[in-house]
Amino acid sequence: MTTTAKRLLNTKDVRKAWLNWMWFFLSTQNMERMQAPAVIRTMWTAKDKLYPKNPQAQKELMQRHTPFFNTEPVWGGMIIGITLGMEEERAMGGDVPDELISSIKTALMGPFAGLFDSLFQATLVPILLSIGLGMSSETGSIAGPLFYVVAFWAIVPTVSWFLFYNGYKAGIAGVQIILESNLKDRIISAANIIGLVVIGAVTASTSNMNTGLKFTYKELTVDLNNILTGIQPKLLVLVMVFVTFNLMVKRKVSVNKMFLFYFALAVIGYFTKILA
């Protein structure tokens, strides 16, 4: 990639491109092109700097990004940053053919979707929500929702801009680093572990399940719930977590059916005294 002093775009130009991507990445989605219109919009913001007074080159720049594109849009916008860096290198006379730009976007959009879906939607959001729930679950305080909103908007745009800008600076070199290392796999593995820990912690702290079964023999009364709690606190909750996992992941039971299942279980358990 070219040095910063020779670049056609400055930090303000890149930030403008990033803001356009962030505002428009889902605005005109369609099944044929998905996020491609937003990519075009992003490149449009830089066209006058890349190809000043050259309408034909600007038109070709737009046409290069009409094919289908779809990834995790918030942090996966790093791909658009890389693409912007490649387009700048091409505009400066670098050997960056159309096919290379298209193939790079296609090669990265799938892995980045898996990576950033795990980090963003399956890890960061549950962590922030669990903290917010812990702050407000017992008191009903507004502190929990406020924490989530403030923390979300402090973290997400900051990380998104960092990835977009560094993707732009790296350009083609960044692609080589990403595809030839196993960094992506390590990050996904770590995110999955963190996500499972968070889900377990949230389940243990916000869920409860007790049985009302008692066995009496003469003057002796055995409370099954006390026995189970003595073995492992919230043992029944843990059992239901595995039941839920088996139904939803192994047997592909939908969320709506799981709601009905738990509603029926609660009603039957209440009237039969199995649950307390």
Model confidence pLDDT, tens digit, residues 237-248: 888 888 888 888
Other CB atoms within 10 Å distance of the CB of residue 44: 15
Average pLDDT over residues 60-68: 91
* Tokens (6 digits) for 56: 């034909």
Dist CA 266 CA 248 (whole Å): 19
Q: What is the DSSP annotation of 80-128? A: HHHHHHHHHHHHTT----HHHHHHHHHHHHHHHHHHHIIIIIIIIHHHH
pLDDT score, position 3: 45
Give this prediction's pTM. 0.67
**DSSP secondary structure code for residue 94 in this structure:** -
DSSP 250: I
What would the mean pLDDT of 153-182 be, rounded to a whole number? Answer: 80
Residue 19, pLDDT above cutoff 50? yes
| Mean residue pLDDT across the chain | 83
Distances in whole angstroms, Cα of residue 238 to Cα of each of 7, 232, 245, 248: 57, 9, 11, 15
| CA-based nearest residue to 71, from 37, 115, 103 | 115
Written as one letter, the residue type at 198 is V
3-class DSSP assignment, residue 223: strand
DSSP readout, 178-221? HHHSSHHHHHHHHHHHHHHHHHHHHHHHH----B--EEEETTEE
